[in-house]
Amino acid sequence: MKEIFSNGTAKGRPGGEAAPAPAALAAKVRTLAPSMTRSMQRVAEAVAADPAGCAALTVTGLAELTGTSEATVVRTARLLGYPGYRDLRLALAGLAAQQQSGRAPSVTADIAVDDPIADVVAKLAHDEQQTLADTAAGLDTIQLGAAVTALAAARRTDIYGVGASGLVAQDLAQKLLRIGLVAHAHSDPHLAVTNAVQLRTGDVAIAITHSGSTGDVIEPLRVAFDRGATTVAITGRPDGPVSQYADHILTTSTARESELRPAAMSSRTSQLLVVDCLFTGVTQRTYETAAPALSASYEALAHRHSPRTR
Amino acid sequence: MKEIFSNGTAKGRPGGEAAPAPAALAAKVRTLAPSMTRSMQRVAEAVAADPAGCAALTVTGLAELTGTSEATVVRTARLLGYPGYRDLRLALAGLAAQQQSGRAPSVTADIAVDDPIADVVAKLAHDEQQTLADTAAGLDTIQLGAAVTALAAARRTDIYGVGASGLVAQDLAQKLLRIGLVAHAHSDPHLAVTNAVQLRTGDVAIAITHSGSTGDVIEPLRVAFDRGATTVAITGRPDGPVSQYADHILTTSTARESELRPAAMSSRTSQLLVVDCLFTGVTQRTYETAAPALSASYEALAHRHSPRTR
DNA sequence: CACCGGGCTGAAAATACCTTTCAGGAGTGA
DNA sequence: TCACTCCTGAAAGGTATTTTCAGCCCGGTG
């Protein structure tokens, strides 16, 4: 056709969308899995389970292996952020090579009801570490940078979260207050909406929801969006309803969950890392005012600690 | 040696030598270069010089780049031990990935004011992972087990925490409520004390304070202790004042902190891991009642999530 | 100097592979 | 039950890779 280097892959990154995903493929699979259809999940699963093996297969081979069709394989590759299967396969080969050299056994079984307490500690710690690594790998630094910029310049910031995410929202609010910003966390949906109405261009609204479809936080974000505020979504489902009102989307990773390890646990870890990144970014950006504010709040609290404990 | 099948097809000969060449590609190129024709040398040279770049090219692209033809590229790939160009390209992608991973930005360094956002993410994630590892290693499983036992049998549980630790306290309370226990988090010191008075033997009181000397949480713990309740302290300073009223002490780790990474950040991570361990332990211990309670709360919340996103 | 043969080379044909289209069909909500 | 949406795979349609083959360069030879 018109292209000379048709599939050339060209470094060109037009819209600046999903990253080609280097090593964070397993994480991406887990993040996107819920939004996949059954057949696509089968493909994604096979890919995540054995990158090296899949890299050796053609589209047809992988389709047969998973009992699906070539079309489905290509669709899955697209969903994972690649232009087509060819590129997914290249990435897979890279991943396989890394694993080969990395040699990480990490035999992490699920937590069982009869696990001794020491095993529980080890497994929980390991899982949370994994969640952190996945989140860091999957976080879009462009989006993050944009959110930081907006926060640093905001007249005021409203943060919405309910349930477990509500605590994360409060954590972020506490942090931002400490560096002299005007931030408030809302977990009451009604108050959140009534406050959102006050926002205007230049202000920032942040919605935190793992599922991406929590009506109670989507509604205030929508209001803020309509009022012209800069809106940010911190969610594990970037394709969820919340995203349609978000100027910037920060994706948290979705870790394996089980009965003894509810989603709320890993999503919280992931969300907090994102929150820390936002906070640190803003602190850097506004260092001149943030540093003295931090010191001041630190000193003010010193009095609350009784006898000095050396 | 003489040629096997001059220009014969000779579809792969498994039994022979021909290693697929993992990472020793540059070496192979040098070894085989003398036996190559001029055009093939040009191709081999390009491949050795920029594996990543070549991996992004199609056979046609690489032919143009080297000023040769597709046929020559394929011949070169064969000479290097691959069945065809496709496989050489996969190997190249793997090689590129390995090189890529080789350069890890000194992630252990402190966060600087002018660090690019990507470094901030990496460093924060790394630090939190470190904190988790430290906490898991330092946690006394005997004390933890004792605390779990007390919680599982408690008539009611009060949890005290202020500031950042207050959020952790709420997190624990939320979790315990979800498995059918009676738990409440207090961040108001006055209310905490008035509630503590209601506790009696068999009940549990938990104080969360990083410094170990936060008067606002020590006071209610003291009251609870005096009333005969089982008391637990989650603190980073096991030698602090809070410990004198604690039956069980769970130690959180104190990670390196800096201006851009206040203690509150790592202490929170550490505290949350301990909280998760407590929660999981209690869930195991009371599985018969906890499991249905968890399912029930999960289902109750499903309604709060708007349109199904599949 | 003319001729010849071997084998490198790239254009083009042939094939394998990847992508797109499209219609049937399962699942869902009314 | 019916209408509807959207998943799904078969097959058509394109690209990329591989193979074939004729031309050409080069050195050797009469």
Pair B90, B144 in one domain:
no
Pair B97, B136 in one domain:
no
In a domain, A132, yes or no: no
Pair B251, B196 in one domain:
yes
Average pLDDT, chain A: 83
pLDDT of residue B206: 97
> What is the average pLDDT across A72-84?
90
Q: Which residues span the domain enclosing B48? A: 25-102
What's the total number of domains in chain B? 2
Pair A148, A294 in one domain:
yes
pLDDT of residue B291: 78
Q: List all residues 6 or more positions away from B153 whose beta carbon is below 8 Å from its beta carbon.
A: B202
In a domain, B3, yes or no: no
Strand D bases within 7 angstroms of protein beta carbons: 6-12, 14-21
Nearest nucleotide, CA A87 to C1': C18
Enumerate residues 92 to 151 of chain B having a beta carbon within 8 A of any beta carbon in chain A: 93-98, 100-101, 111, 113-115, 117-118, 120-122, 124-125, 128-129, 132-133, 135-136, 139, 141, 144-145, 148
Residue B121 is nearest to which of A136, A167, A305, comparing CB atoms?
A: A136
Q: Which helix (H) or strand (E) holds A157?
A: strand A157-160
CB atoms within 10 A of CB B261: 22
In a domain, B309, yes or no: no
How many residues in chain A? 310
Residue A306 has pLDDT above 90, yes or no: no
pLDDT of residue B111: 81
Q: Check the CA dihedral A64-A68-A70-A75 and report its sign.
A: negative
Confidence class for position A37, pLDDT limits 50, 70, 90? confident
Provide, in whole angstroms, the distance separating residue B106's CA from nucleotide C29's C1': 55
Q: Please identify, among A85, A102, A119, the residue that sits at the C-terminal boundary of a domain.
A: A102
pLDDT of residue B37: 82
Confidence class for position A247, pLDDT limits 50, 70, 90? very high
CATH of the domain at A145: 3.40.50.10490
Pair B212, B286 in one domain:
yes
Pair B81, B164 in one domain:
no
In a domain, A13, yes or no: no
Closest CA to B241 of B263, B267, B224, B219: B219
pLDDT of residue B3: 33
Task: Search chain A and give the residue with CA nearest B279.
Answer: A260
Q: Which two tokens stand for residue B32?
A: 């085989």
In a domain, A129, yes or no: no
- Cα B163 from Cα A178, distance rounded (Å): 11
Strand C bases within 7 angstroms of protein beta carbons: 7-13, 16-22, 29
Task: Search chain A and give the residue with CA nearest B112.
Answer: A284
pLDDT along chain B (310 residues), means of 10: 33 37 65 77 86 89 89 90 90 80 62 87 90 90 95 95 94 93 94 93 95 91 95 91 94 75 82 96 90 74 54
Q: Which helix (H) or strand (E) holds B124?
A: helix B117-138
Pair B70, B168 in one domain:
no
Q: Do B94 and A97 touch (CB under 8 A)?
A: yes
- Cα A61 from Cα A54, distance rounded (Å): 9
Which amino acid would we find at residue B309?
T
In a domain, A98, yes or no: yes
Pair A90, A164 in one domain:
no
DSSP 3-state of B157? strand
Q: Please identify, among B69, B102, B135, the residue that sits at the C-terminal boundary of a domain.
A: B102
Residues of chain B with C-beta less than 8 angstroms from the C-beta of A113: 284, 287
- Cα A41 from Cα A308, distance rounded (Å): 57
pLDDT of residue A106: 42
In a domain, A11, yes or no: no
> What is the average pLDDT across A123-129?
90
- Cα A224 from Cα A233, distance rounded (Å): 12
Pair A66, A166 in one domain:
no
Q: Under a CB-based contact definition with an 8 Å cutoff, are residues A92 and A59 in contact?
A: no
**How far does CA A201 lie from the centroid of its chain?**
25
pTM, 2 dp: 0.75
Pair B151, B284 in one domain:
yes
Pair A285, A146 in one domain:
yes
- Least confident segment among A17-26, A204-213, B60-69, B192-201: A17-26
CATH of the domain at A36: 1.10.10.10
Residue A284 is nearest to which of B113, B167, B305, comparing CB atoms?
A: B113
The larger pLDDT score, comparing residue A94 to residue B141, is at B141
Q: pLDDT tens for residues A45-62?
A: 888 888 888 898 999 999
Q: Do B125 and A118 touch (CB under 8 A)?
A: no
> What is the average pLDDT across A11-36?
58
Q: Under a CB-based contact definition with an 8 Å cutoff, are residues A110 and A259 in contact?
A: no
Q: Do B129 and A133 touch (CB under 8 A)?
A: yes
Pair B121, B259 in one domain:
yes
Enumerate residues 160 to 189 of chain A having a beta carbon within 8 A of any beta carbon in chain B: 162-164, 167, 170-171, 174-175, 178
Residue A22 has pLDDT above 90, yes or no: no
Q: Please identify, among A83, A102, A121, the residue that sits at the C-terminal boundary of a domain.
A: A102
In a domain, B196, yes or no: yes
- Least confident segment among A12-21, A170-179, A260-269, B213-222: A12-21
Residues of chain A with C-beta less than 8 angstroms from the C-beta of B121: 136, 139, 141, 144, 277
Burial B216-240, CB ≥16 within 10 A → b, else e: bbbbbbbbbbebebbbbbbbbbbeb
